[in-house]
Copies of this chain bind each other. A is one copy, B any other.
Amino acid sequence: MVKVGLLGLGTVGTGTAQILLDPDGRHPLLQDLELHRVGVRSLEKTRTVPLPSGCLTTDLKSIVTDPAVDIVVELLGGLEPARSLLLEAIAHGKHIVTANKAVIARYGDQLFTAANQQGVYVMLEAAVGGGIPVIQPLKQSLGANRIHTVIGIVNGTTNYILTRMQQEGGDFQDILVDAQRLGYAEADPTADVDGLDAADKIAILASLAFGRRIKLDQVHCEGIRQVGAADITYAQKLGFVIKLLAIARKPEYASSKIANLEVPELEVRVHPTLVPHSHPLASISGVHNAILVEGEPLGQVMFFGPGAGAGPTASAVVSDMINVASLLKLGVTGPDIANTGLHPLMACSHQHYAAVAPVEELITRFYARFLTQDQPGVIGKLGTCFGDHHVSLESIVQTGTQKNLAEIVVVTHHVREGNFHQALEQIRTLAAIDSIPTLLRVL
């Protein structure tokens, strides 16, 4: 039997225990997995799952050091004590299954280096996209390709809010409050609505897709607080929906453009984005997630499904356990067996950091909404400022008025982000400009 030590018995932990305790009709390898110990914060709490007697403990450290445990499943969330427990588990030769995107995105280098030294696996299918198989396909099914783009809707809370804004025409703040009431958003919504959760996830996806480690502070990150009901409406009229996209891309243009700088290999960024209606990601609504991968010669594939929830996340957690168990069964890992090296498609094989391009170097299209004095000549002045900084415009339209101010929406052709911001700097100095409430990128 493969003995599992489970850290955390919240919703995902409970879902995971339920699968392990009820293996009938699932993969036969589940019969080889035994829920040996479960670490919780309190022994007093009523549990909805019938655990084997005596397996509960509040001493989490005793689980990660238990010689009988083969796989440590970390479902605590948060940085500590999760990180320290994972490192200690690895040091004791345990394989790791985790759903903790925050720890992996920040301390993946430590964890994978330690795991490679110990000859154990760190599995993280549940860290991105909930129940959607995307980590394993990136590791095992897409390797023939030169992957150049990964784009994900990887945060269900923001996609739920944006979908409702789209459907109801409501404002961000009202719908956020309602989403909190309904349990679709946390009491402290920062990690979701400011894009931090999506940033963790795209850092992980980028490292797998491009075989490089990613420094999280190099991931450019903007949330959805700035998106107004007016923007949703204008986007709709222009043929777009607004989605919070997490994007990792190998820019073909990068190599020749930046003198005296390390050549950037990658763009990695999270921001609200205008997505054309015809794009596969445009129809992903509500709490669903989807991850689109583009490569040569594959073209475009998309993985779609439930991005969170006890059942889907537990499905991913247990699939990782089955994968580790399959190698233990093959006899190619484990303390009692001569180690033949780690499976090259399951271990982390890259040690180098990616050179992530600063966002100023990004080549993209922009959407911007301006509030200006309602007087003649403003559109001309805006156009001139953009022209001065080589920002070519696709359209510039006065869309209405708000409280005696004219509302003007600009959509650019592809421009260098730095140039666009220089133009905005100059525009902000114009007397006729009241404010620039929204600034979005266009896919």
A131 contacts B299, C-beta separation under 8 Å: yes
| Contact with A344, one of B131, B306, B326, B349 (Cβ below 8 angstroms) | B326
From A43-51, A140-148, A227-235, A363-371, give the one contacting chain B. Answer: A140-148
Mask of A296-331 contacts with B, CB within 8 angstroms, 1/0: 111111111110011110111111001100110111
B326 touches A297 (CB 8 A): no
Indicate how many identical chains form the complex.
2
On whether the beta carbons of A309 and B299 are closer than 8 Å, the reply is yes
Is A136's CB under 8 angstroms from B131's CB? no
Question: Which chain A residues in 4-38 approach chain B with CB under 8 Å?
Answer: 15, 18-19, 25-30
Interface residue? A132 (CB, 8 A)? yes
Considering only residues 125-159 of chain A, those with a C-beta below 8 Å from chain B are 125, 131-133, 136-137, 140-146
Chain B residues in 8 Å Cβ range of A331? 332, 340-341
Q: Tell me which of B297, B299, B311, B317 contacts A299 (CB under 8 A).
A: B311
* Cβ of A180 under 8 Å from chain B: no
Whether A19 contacts B141 by the Cβ 8 Å rule is: no
* A250 nearest CB neighbor, chain B only: B25
Partner of A343, one of B137, B306, B316, B326: B326
A418 to chain B, nearest CB (A): 28
Chain B residue nearest to A289 (CB atoms) is: B301
Interface size on A, residues (CB 8 A): 61
A136 CB contact (under 8 Å) in B140, B298, B317: B140
Let me know if A145 and B315 touch, CB within 8 A: yes
> Contact: B297 with A314, CB < 8 Å?
yes
- A280 at interface by CB-CB < 8 Å: yes
Do residues A26 and B306 form an inter-chain contact, with CB atoms below 8 A? no
Complex contact B340–A330 (CB within 8 A): yes
Taking A30-B144, A344-B330 as contacts, is the C-beta distance between A301 and B137 under 8 angstroms?
no
Q: Is A187 an interface residue (CB 8 A)?
A: no
Most buried by B among A137, A297, A314, A332: A297
A315–B19 CB distance below 8 A: no
Distance in angstroms from A156 CB to nearest chain B CB is 13
Residues of B within 8 A of A318 (CB): 143-144
Complex Cα gap A343–B346 (Å): 13
Q: Report the bound CA distance from A408 to B330 in whole Å.
A: 61
Contact B322 A19 (CB under 8 A): no
A263 at the B interface (CB under 8 A): no
A319 to B137, CA, bound (A): 10
- Given A133-B301, A144-B30, A299-B312, A345–B323 Cβ distance below 8 Å? yes
Query: Chain B's nearest CB lies how many Å from the CB of A207?
Result: 14
Q: Is the CB of B132 within 8 A of A301?
A: yes
Asked whether B322 lies within 8 Å of A26 as measured between CB atoms, the reply is no
Return chain B residues, CB-CB under 8 Å to A27.
143-144
* Contact A330:B329 (CB < 8 A) given known A15-B297, A301-B131: no
The answer to whether A133 and B144 touch across the interface, beta carbons within 8 angstroms, is: no
Which residues of the other chain, B, contact A211 by a CB distance below 8 angstroms?
Answer: 28
A110 lies within 8 A of chain B by Cβ? no
A319 close to B30 (CB less than 8 A): no
A312–B332 CB distance below 8 A:
no
Which B residues touch A140, using CB under 8 A?
A: 133, 136, 140, 319, 322-323
A302–B305 touching, CB < 8 Å: yes
The verdict on A349 contacting B311 (CB below 8 Å), with A303-B301, A331-B340, A332-B340 known, is: no
Q: For the complex, give the distance between the alpha carbons of A298 and B16 in Å.
A: 11
Contacting B at CB under 8 A, from A171-197, are none
> Cβ of A283 < 8 Å from any Cβ of B?
yes
Q: Which of B26, B302, B322, B341 contacts A146 (CB 8 A)?
A: B26
User: 6 additional contacts, CB 8 Å, given A131-B301, A140-B319, A142-B315?
Assistant: A27-B144, A297-B311, A299-B311, A301-B304, A301-B305, A332-B332
Partner-B contacts on A (CB < 8 A): 15, 18-19, 25-30, 125, 131-133, 136-137, 140-146, 211, 280, 283, 295-306, 309-312, 314-319, 322-323, 326-327, 329-332, 340-341, 343-345, 349
- Closest 4 pairs between A and B when the two form their complex, measured CB to CB: A297-B311, A27-B143, A144-B318, A133-B141
